Amino acid sequence: MLSIGLIGCGTIGTSICKAIDNGTIEAELVAIYDRHLDDVDKLLSTLKNSKPQVMEVAEMIKNIDLLVECASQEAVYEIIPTALHAHCDVMVMSVGAFSDEKLYKTIRELAKENKCKVYLPSGAIVGLDGLKSASAEEIYSVTLTTQKPPVGLAGAPYIIRNKIDLDKITGKTVIFEGSASEAVKEFPANVNVAATISLTGIGFEKTRVKIVANPALTRNIHEISVEGSFGEFTTRVENVPSPTNPRSSYLASLSAIATLKKLSDPIQTGT
Ligand SMILES: NC(=O)C1=CN([C@@H]2O[C@H](COP(=O)(O)OP(=O)(O)OC[C@H]3O[C@@H](n4cnc5c(N)ncnc54)[C@H](OP(=O)(O)O)[C@@H]3O)[C@@H](O)[C@H]2O)C=CC1
Ligand SMILES: O=C([O-])CC(=O)C(=O)O
């Protein structure tokens, strides 16, 4: 059975651990870690069948087949190269880190050298299958429009640097328009999906991102519009925010669980 170690015991990490614990994912949860040890303890107390050890990455990678990152973009720098050196496969949620071309190339090369896989779930968006198919030929444009309630953008470096008072936003307001490359740096915990789209489609510079704060919403909406030699499509998802982290949509947790489930399934659907 697949042995899993997980870094980041917040919203997505907790959902994954529970899905392993209740048998939805066929795997053994061997080790977990978070920089907030009280969050680790809280999670451990909810698990009925799994008894993971609390270990930092250096120790964890000696005991697992697959390392799951659901922590932060900064964690990707710290842990993913280390795990690949140790021949562990990895699943990354903080995909925005890959806008750093040097990091992306290093991880790609390490994965090849060590015969490892790097799994990047679709996360909070729908339509990655179509984009992947379309990328077999020419794609002319890709645009992501993300709308979140103002609280779903709180804490982003762009909001803080530009002193945007989210409490004062009373109507639908465009907060940011630019490349995916800028978007994932300015909103590292809000639009990792822009990175997954960029890696699948036409890259971080050509992918356009618009971020809208909309106080009338209770859901996180992501719309993707793609034009290419295949024709064009638009997808739209209205995501329920995770109760424990309004920035992260619940679908992102489900997508991580689905990716891990797929690893033990002999039949693989979708492109
Ligand atoms: N690909 C996608 O579609 C999506 C990706 N995400 C991303 O996935 C990641 C997890 O999301 P979510 O579970 O909602 O986040 P949470 O904030 O709920 O949980 C993350 C936990 O990991 C901890 N952490 C961060 N960095 C490290 C580190 N270097 N070492 C150990 N622990 C660390 C955090 O601590 P602290 O609070 O101190 O940072 C926090 O306790 C985030 O980066 C998020 O932006 C989220 C939604 C969709
Ligand atoms: O969960 C979402 O709606 C998207 C998100 O936070 C991310 O991509 O970082």
- pLDDT tens readout for residues 200-235: 999 999 999 999 999 999 999 999 999 999 999 999
Active site residue 36: no
Whether 97 lines ligand 1, by a CB cut-off of 6 Å, is no
CB 66 within 8 A of CB 91: yes
Q: Are residues 8 and 103 in the same domain?
A: yes
Predicted local confidence at residue 67, as pLDDT: 98
Atom of ligand 2 lying closest to residue 148 CA: 3
pLDDT at 164: 97
| Rama region for 44: left / alpha / beta (φ>0; ψ in -120 to 50; rest) | alpha
Q: Is 70 exposed, middle or buried (0-12, 13-18, 19+ CB in 10 A)?
A: buried
Any atom of ligand 1 within 6 Å of the Cβ of 39:
yes
Both tokens assigned to 62: 């000696």
Residue 243 resides in a domain: no
- Determine the pLDDT at residue 203: 98
Residue 269 is assigned to a structural domain of this protein = no
Atom of ligand 1 nearest to the CA of 14: 13
- Strands (DSSP E) along the chain, which ranges? 3-7, 28-33, 53-54, 66-69, 89-92, 118-119, 139-148, 173-179, 208-213, 220-228, 231-239, 241-242, 245-249
Can you give the CATH number for the domain in which 69 is found? 3.40.50.720
Structure tokens at 77: 């720098």
User: Which whole number is the average pLDDT over 37-47?
Assistant: 96
Binding site feature residues: 124, 192
φ/ψ of 222, rounded to 5, equals -120, 125
Residue 246 covered by a domain: no
Give the number of the atom of ligand 1 that is nearest the alpha carbon of residue 248: 47
pTM above 0.95, yes or no: yes
Residue whose token pair is 């399934």: 265
102 and 148 fall within a common domain: no
Rounded CA separation 202/30 (Å): 37
- pLDDT tens-digit profile of 135-191? 999 999 999 999 999 999 999 999 999 999 999 999 999 999 999 999 999 999 999
Domain identity same for 90 and 169: no
Mean model confidence pLDDT for the chain = 97
82 and 139 part of one domain:
no
Residues 154 and 102 in one domain: no
Same domain, residue pair 7 and 118: yes
Number of domains forming the structure of the chain: 2
| Nearest alpha carbon, ligand 2 atom 5 | 190
Residue 120 lies in a domain: yes
Distance CA 166, CA 156 (A): 11
Q: What is the 3-state secondary structure (H, E, C) of 223-239?
A: EEEEEECCEEEEEEEEE
Q: Which ipTM did the prediction report? A: 0.98
Question: Given ligand 2 and candidates 99, 151, 185, 192, which is best to mutate, with the most ligand atoms within 8 Å of its CB?
Answer: 192
* 216: CATH: 3.30.360.10
Q: Is 225 inside any structural domain?
A: yes
Q: Which residues does the annotation place in the binding site for NAD(+)?
A: 124, 192
Domain-located, residue 212: yes
Range of the domain at 75: 2-124+251-264
pLDDT at 119: 98
Residue with tokens 């949509």: 249
Asked if residue 25 lies in contact with residue 15, where contact means CB atoms within 8 angstroms, the answer is no
Domain co-membership, 146 together with 197: yes
Q: Please tell me whether residues 41 and 91 are part of one structural domain.
A: yes
Q: What is the pLDDT of residues 81-108, one digit of tens each?
A: 999 999 999 999 999 999 999 999 999 9
Tell me, yes or no, whether 135 lies in a domain: yes
